[in-house]
Amino acid sequence: MVGAAGFAATPSLEMGRKHWAFLPLRAAQLPAVKDAAWARNDVDRFILAALEAKGLRPSPEADRRTLIRRVTVDLIGLPPSPEEVETFVKDTSPQAWERVVDRLLASPHYGERWGRHWLDLARYADSSGFHNDLDRPHAWRYRDYVIRSFNEDKPYARFIAEQLAGDEVPGADEDTMVATGFCRNGPSNDDNMGNNKEQYRLDELDDVISTTSMVFLGLTVGCARCHDHKYDPVTSADYYSLLAVFNGTVKRGVPKESDEKDKAKELVRLQALIETKAKAPPTYLLRRGSLQNKGPEVPPAAPLVLVSNPLRFPEPEPDAKSSGRRRTLAEWIAAPENPLTWRVLANRIWQHHFGRGLVATPSNFGFNGARATHPELLDFLAARLIADGGRWKALHKLLVMSATYRQGSSVAADVRRLHLPETPDPRPLTQSSQSLLTSAATLDADNTLLWRGNHQRLSAESLRDSILAVSGKLNPQLGGPGIKPRIRADLLTASQRNKWPALTTEGAAQWRRSVYIYVKRQLLMPMLELFDAPTTTDSCAERMQSVVPTQALVLMNDEFVEDHAGFLAQRAVTEAGGELSKAIERMHLLSLARVPTAERLKQATVFVTARESAYEKEAGAKETPRQRALTDLAHVLFNSSEFITIE
């Protein structure tokens, strides 16, 4: 719809309620397919039907070593051990793959991997940002809450309620209060908020409203703070009605030495957003977002376009400790009748398994967002989540057990062809029909139809964690305050407040998983930042996938990578014995989940032998020439595309 000035006009409420993402979930009708034998579960029927409609065939299944590496990194963010690889390769039973999947979903490392995805959305950090970048000494408790919640497979409705209203939910305790850190994770400037404290407070609540709406509803409600939304049927009244939901909240755990009131209540261990009384203050619509331009008072409400009847907020009991508004909002967000929430969640889970969501704009399901590539499949997955009580692990299993997930990722082996109109099955390619045929790679270059698996680069955290794991130095300790690994001394001057310690060496205390690294907004861990870890300023729904020369340079020159290349070489020799070929094979199995081909083994042997000869001419090194040469090979493997990419 275009307005008189030529710009897109805001959709009407009536038009908005017809938007595909806001409509009720459609009952699943499994599509008919020709090659029903290929499908391993219902997910495959949706994918195959779309492929067959374009005359395409799916790719063959990936080999078993590729599969176990793919699913292990996918579910726990770590590479499989050589023993796990060999066990799966040799297990020919029909249940072999399912056993692998069940083992990974039961691992405590699952929460570390998938909790990290959630922390991106929740803009988690251990410091406040801005000029002073104050320490948040107990922010890590929210991070650990998230990891525990994923490992427990907490129902999504409860997960939402605890983060928005942890002081109001049944059985509220310190853990649920910690969960409200979701509302406190954004940047803050509490020690320098200026003279207009009310404006500062509204700015902070704007962060809460914007993040809540994007993460749970896939809507950019924050755009309606100063005027009606330009693209979606969301008004300023909708925005301020959501503000009314949070307007009675107060912060606990503010990092100020003078906060004696919090200390007296023993709440400084929390970084929480709670209410302390039943009656919330009145909320007014602020024209153009200005405190000096108050409009009418607005009640708490959900965005009108998303409800058929206005959401009812019960009056609290006079002696209640909170208004109950946030709990009411959380219950509405997670209600089975709210299709948007479940579509958004199903899409996020799909996105992290397949590299791209069925909706390519995972935090924007509005009019300006992308359309779903497989809308019926998205509704099917959303309905499955609801049927499973909002637990994630059942959906993980459904997706990774599918034939779609298990496809090979090779483009070079693309022999799938467009069907000729008059034939139900692909014909052999002939000279006369060649002009009528198109390869899958040409027809669907972005692999939107999922005719093959997607190559995915290791996330920043998984890259560092994989180096630690294959070197044998990963410290598996769970939880606790953030760790501060070594950062180059010349980079530490970039942050003069809340300083990072200057380390010359690292040990087990620093060799924990990257999810436990202290997230300092003014100085992000350089290796993680370089490989596209988010800045944490805003909610991050999808990380960038940059390819820049400095990524290769850090893998070649960083002390951490160099140190662990040496540890990997030592480990390979210890586990394989003194024979060079066996050490090389072991190194490949540890790092790439496969032994080298005969040609690769020959190349590696020649490389190590040449390096060893060169080192024999040098004196004074602590390591033997053989050890130094094997370290160089380990360094090469860490730099290989096979190591940093999941096929």
Domain ranges of the chain: 163-186+197-331, 557-646
Q: What tokens were used for 244?
A: 């009314």
User: For the chain, what percent of residues have pLDDT higher than 70?
Assistant: 92
Quote the CA–CA distance of 207 and 38 in Å, as a whole number.
47
Residues in contact with 480: Cβ distance below 8 Å, sequence separation at least 6, in sequence order: 140, 144, 516
The pLDDT value recorded for residue 343 is 98
DSSP label of 265? T
The pLDDT value recorded for residue 254 is 59
The pLDDT value recorded for residue 7 is 41
- Kindly report the CA angle at 518 between 474 and 330, in degrees rounded to 5? 105
Q: pLDDT category, 9, cuts 50, 70, 90?
A: low
Residue 426 has pLDDT above 60, yes or no: no
Contact of 222 with 538, CB cutoff 8 Å = no
Residue 349 has φ and ψ, to the nearest 5°, of -65, -45
Write the single-letter amino acid at 574: T
Strands 272-274 and 283-286: unpaired
Q: What tokens were used for 488?
A: 């180059």
Quote the CA–CA distance of 294 and 278 in Å, as a whole number.
24
Q: pLDDT category, 454, cuts 50, 70, 90?
A: very high
The pLDDT value recorded for residue 3 is 40
Using alpha carbons, list the distances in angstroms from residue 251 to 162, 190, 246, 443, 515.
16, 11, 11, 54, 25
Strands 272-274 and 250-252: antiparallel
What string of H, E and C letters represents the secondary structure of 120-133?
A: HHCCCCCECCCCCC
Quote the CA–CA distance of 514 and 526 in Å, as a whole number.
12
Q: What tokens were used for 37?
A: 């034998």
What string of H, E and C letters represents the secondary structure of 551-567?
A: HHHHHHHCHHHHHHHHH
The pLDDT value recorded for residue 328 is 98
The pLDDT value recorded for residue 4 is 36
Q: Which range has the worst mean pLDDT, 9-13, 131-135, 417-421, 544-548?
A: 417-421
CB atoms within 10 A of CB 367: 19
Quote the CA–CA distance of 69 and 379 in Å, as a whole number.
30
Integer-rounded Cα Rg, in Å, for the chain is: 27
Residues in contact with 427: Cβ distance below 8 Å, sequence separation at least 6, in sequence order: 417, 420, 433
Average pLDDT of span 79-102: 97
CB atoms within 10 A of CB 89: 16
Sign for the CA dihedral angle at 490, 493, 495, 500 comes to positive
Mean pLDDT (the chain) is 91
The pLDDT value recorded for residue 5 is 37
Residue 166 has pLDDT above 70, yes or no: yes
pLDDT digits (tens, 9 = 90+) for 561-597: 999 999 999 999 999 988 999 999 999 999 999 999 9
Quote the CA–CA distance of 551 and 463 in Å, as a whole number.
12
> For 528, how many CA atoms within 13 A lie in the half-sphere containing its CB?
25
Quote the CA–CA distance of 612 and 465 in Å, as a whole number.
29
Longest dimension (CA), the chain: 86
Quote the CA–CA distance of 606 and 600 in Å, as a whole number.
10
Quote the CA–CA distance of 2 and 5 in Å, as a whole number.
8
The pLDDT value recorded for residue 155 is 98
Q: Which range has the worst mean pLDDT, 51-60, 471-480, 616-625?
A: 616-625
pTM flag (> 0.85) = yes
Average pLDDT of span 188-216: 92
Q: pLDDT category, 497, cuts 50, 70, 90?
A: confident
Quote the CA–CA distance of 601 and 517 in Å, as a whole number.
37
Residue 278 has φ and ψ, to the nearest 5°, of -75, -35
Contact of 95 with 65, CB cutoff 8 Å = no
Residue 295 has pLDDT above 80, yes or no: yes
Q: What tokens were used for 325?
A: 């508004």
Q: pLDDT category, 438, cuts 50, 70, 90?
A: low
Contact of 271 with 293, CB cutoff 8 Å = no
Closest CA to 139 of 172, 173, 186, 76: 186
Distance of CA 152 to the CA centre of its chain: 18
Quote the CA–CA distance of 95 and 93 in Å, as a whole number.
5
pLDDT digits (tens, 9 = 90+) for 331-374: 999 999 999 999 999 999 999 999 999 999 999 999 999 999 99
